[in-house]
Amino acid sequence: MDTQWPRWEVFKQDTPSKPHQAVGSVHAADPEHALLTARNVFARRPQAVSMWVVRADDIFSWTKEELLEANLTHITQPQTTNHKPQAFAVFRKTSHKRSMTFVDYVGEVEARSPEEALKKAQATFTDAEALAWWLVPTAKIVKSDPSQETIESWFAPAKDKTYKQQQYYATVGSHVSKFKVGRGVEDEE
Amino acid sequence: MPKYGVPTDPDYNERLAEFEARIQRGEKIEPGDWMPEEYRRQLIRMISQHAHSEVVGMLPEGAWITRAPTLKRKMILVAKVQDEAGHGQYLYHAAETLGISREAMLEALLAGKAKYSSIFNYPTLTWADIGTIGWLVDGAAIKNQTMLAACSYGPYSRAMVRICAEETFHHKQGKEMVLLYAKGTPKQRQMAQDAINRWWWPALMMMGPHDKDSPNTEVLVRWGIKTKTNDQVRQEFINEHAPEILEAGLTLPDPDLRYDEQTGNWLHGPINWEEFWQVVSGNGPMNKERLEARRRAHAEGAWVREALEAYAAKQQKTVVAV
C-alpha cells in the first residue's frame, strides 16, 4: 500500500545570476517541511541562494521524443478547470552533456492550459533545442524566503565547512599520476 | 501510460533499434521516453541496491561519531555520514522516475529482501577502520560511480555526478587519515596495517564477480548503463591504490600482488568468491546486526513522522479556517 508523503521536486539556485535548476526530489508532509528537507539534502555544500519546491503532481512534462510522437497521453494530472489565463514557469533541458541538474528555469508564459503553455514556451524560448520541457503553474511553486537574513541562515553555514571540500585535502600523499607507466618516481607530483 | 517495451510488442524490434541508436549517439534516456522493460528492470535493481548501500553504509561509521579522536575528525565524520544519507535520497529519487515507489524500496530493505553492498556487513573494529573505509571503500565506490556518471539513463547519471563530487571528500579525508597513522607511532602504524589487511579484499569484491561470472554485464554495457566491466573497474582501483599504499610503507595482504611492466597493471592473486557469496546471501559477520539497526531506526523514528503529519494536518486546517 502506498502511504508515503507527496513527492516534491526541488529547484536550487546557485547564485543570483544563475537560473533555478531541478536537482532531485524529496518526500514531505507540507511545503515548509519540503523546503527544509530540500535544504538538508541538496545544500550540504556551497553554493545556494534560493530553493523552490513543487509537488510532482503539479508538473507537466514532455521529452523531445514524446513531442515527436505527439503522444501526450501519459499526462494524468487533472486539467485546470479554471480557464482564465495563468502564469506558467518554464523549465527546459538543452544538453545531453553530463550534469548534476535536469531542467533550467528559462522564464514564464501566460496560458489557459499546460498544452497552450507548452506551445507558447516553444515559440518563445527558441535559442536552443529543447530535449525536455517542464511547465509549472507559478502559483504552485513554494519558494524559500528571499531575505538576506534567511539566505545567510539557510545557506551560509555550508560555506565555512572547508573540510567538506576535496580541495582541503589536495596535497595528501602522492598523486596517482606519479605511479603511471613510463614515469619515474622522480616526476613532479 | 509509461512506455516500457516488451519483446511481444509488435513494434518492439523497431523501437529497440531506435533506442539503441540513441544510446550510441550519446543521448540520455529521460523519464517519459520509450525504453525496454528489461532496461527499466536492470536500472531499478542497480539503483535501489545503490541507494540501500548508502543508507546501510551509514551504520559502520555512525557508530564512531561519539568516539572520534578530535573535534575536527568528529565534524568530518558527521558530514560524511550526512552525505551518505543524502546520496541515498538522490538515488531513491532516480529509481522513482522509473515508476517504483520510495516506500516499496524501503519496505524491501527492511524486510531483508533487498540487496546492498556486501562490504557494509563487515565490522569496524578500530578508528583506523574509519580512515580505511574512506580511502579504500569510498575509493572503490568512486571508481564505480565515475563510470556510472556516464550512464545512458539521465536521472541515474545525474545522481552519480552529484555523488562523485561529494564522495571525493570522503576518499581524500580517509587517505589523509591513514597516511598520518602510517607515519605515526608504532601502535598507530599497526592499527593502519591491520585495517588495510581487513578491508583490502572486501574492497576488491565490491566491484562484483569477474566478468565471466557476471551474467548481466553484457546487456548493461550494450545499453550504456555500465560503460566499463567489473574487472576493468577493479583493475583501475588496484592500479591507483596499490602503489599509494605501498609508498606509505604499508603492505597489502596479497602475496601474489605484482606490477606487470608489460601492461602497467598491478596483478592480484585469487579472490575468495566463496566468502563474497556467503556475505551476499546474508551470512556475513554483520548482516543481521545491520538490518536490525535499520529496522530499529525506522521504528524509533515513527514518532517523528507522526509529529510531522500532525503538524501538516494542523497547517491544512488553519488554511481552510482562513
Closest CA to A10 of B162, B312, B101, B44: B162
Residue reference for cell 565515475 = B146
Among candidates A5, A25, A42 on the partner chain, residue whose Cβ is nearest the Cβ of B96: A25
Contact A102, B90 (CB under 8 A): no
Contact A51, A69 (CB under 8 A): no
User: A137 pLDDT exceeds 90?
Assistant: yes
Digit-coded pLDDT (tens) for B127-137: 999 999 999 99
pLDDT (0 to 100) of residue A183: 44
Query: How far apart are alpha carbons B180 and B176 in whole angstroms?
Result: 6
pLDDT (0 to 100) of residue A168: 82
> Judging by DSSP bridges, how do beta strands A60-63 and A132-137 pair with one another?
antiparallel
Supply angle C-alpha B189, B192, B193, rounded to 5: 85
> Judging by DSSP bridges, how do beta strands B4-5 and B35-36 pair with one another?
parallel
pLDDT (0 to 100) of residue A80: 52
Radius of gyration of chain B (CA): 22
Among candidates B103, B155, B172 on the partner chain, residue whose Cβ is nearest the Cβ of A169: B172
User: Comparing A79 with A186, which gets the higher pLDDT?
Assistant: A79
pLDDT (0 to 100) of residue A187: 39
Query: How far apart are alpha carbons B161 and B148 in whole angstroms?
Result: 8
User: B215 pLDDT exceeds 90?
Assistant: no
Is the interface score ipTM higher than 0.95? no
Among candidates A41, A96, A166 on the partner chain, residue whose Cβ is nearest the Cβ of B28: A96
3-state secondary structure A7-45: EEEEEEECCCCCCCEEEEEEECCCHHHHHHHHHHHHCCC
Q: What is the DSSP string of B118-169?
A: GGGGS---SHHHHHHIIIIIHHHHHHHHHHHTT-SBHHHHHHHHHHHHHHHH
Q: Is A175 on the interface with B (CB under 8 A)?
A: no
Output the furthest CA–CA distance in chain A (Å, rounded): 74
State the DSSP H helix or E strand holding residue A55, giving kind and residue range, or none if neither: strand A50-55
Kindly determine whether residue B79 and residue A161, on different chains, have CB atoms separated by under 8 Å.
yes
pLDDT (0 to 100) of residue B238: 98
Kindly determine whether residue B90 and residue A24, on different chains, have CB atoms separated by under 8 Å.
yes
Mean pLDDT of chain A: 86
B-proximal residues of A, 70-109, CB under 8 Å: 71, 73-74, 93, 96, 98-102
Kindly determine whether residue B103 and residue A3, on different chains, have CB atoms separated by under 8 Å.
yes
Q: Give me the mean pLDDT over the A47-67 stretch.
A: 95
Contact A57, A153 (CB under 8 A): no
Distances (CA, A) of B289 to B53, B63, B237, B294, B296: 15, 12, 29, 9, 10
Cα-flanking dihedrals φ and ψ of residue A50, to 5°? -160, 150
Contact A164, B62 (CB under 8 A): no
DSSP reduced 3-state for B35: strand
A74: confidence class by pLDDT, cuts 50, 70, 90: very low
pLDDT (0 to 100) of residue A161: 79
Q: What is the DSSP string of B225-286?
A: S-SS-HHHHHHHHHHHHHHHHHHTT---S-TT-EEETTTTEEE-----HHHHHHIIIIISTT
List for chain B the helix, strand, coil content (%; round to 5). 70, 5, 25
Closest CA to B33 of A63, A57, A24: A63
User: B283 pLDDT exceeds 60?
Assistant: yes
Amino acid, res. B194:
D
User: B18 pLDDT exceeds 50?
Assistant: yes
User: Comparing B322 with B147, which gets the higher pLDDT?
Assistant: B147
Contact B196, B250 (CB under 8 A): yes
User: A173 pLDDT exceeds 80?
Assistant: no
Work out the percent of chain A whose per-residue pLDDT is above 90: 67
Query: How far apart are alpha carbons B36 and B6 in whole angstroms?
Result: 6
pLDDT (0 to 100) of residue A177: 65
pLDDT (0 to 100) of residue A91: 98
Q: Give me the mean pLDDT over the B97-119 stretch.
A: 94
Digit-coded pLDDT (tens) for B30-68: 999 999 999 999 999 999 999 999 999 999 999 999 999
User: Comparing B8 with A162, which gets the higher pLDDT?
Assistant: B8
DSSP character at residue A111: E
Q: Distance from first CA to last CA of chain A, Å, rounded?
A: 56
Which residues in chain B are closer than 8 Å to A176, comparing Cβ atoms?
A: 239-240, 243-244
B319: confidence class by pLDDT, cuts 50, 70, 90: low
DSSP character at residue A53: E
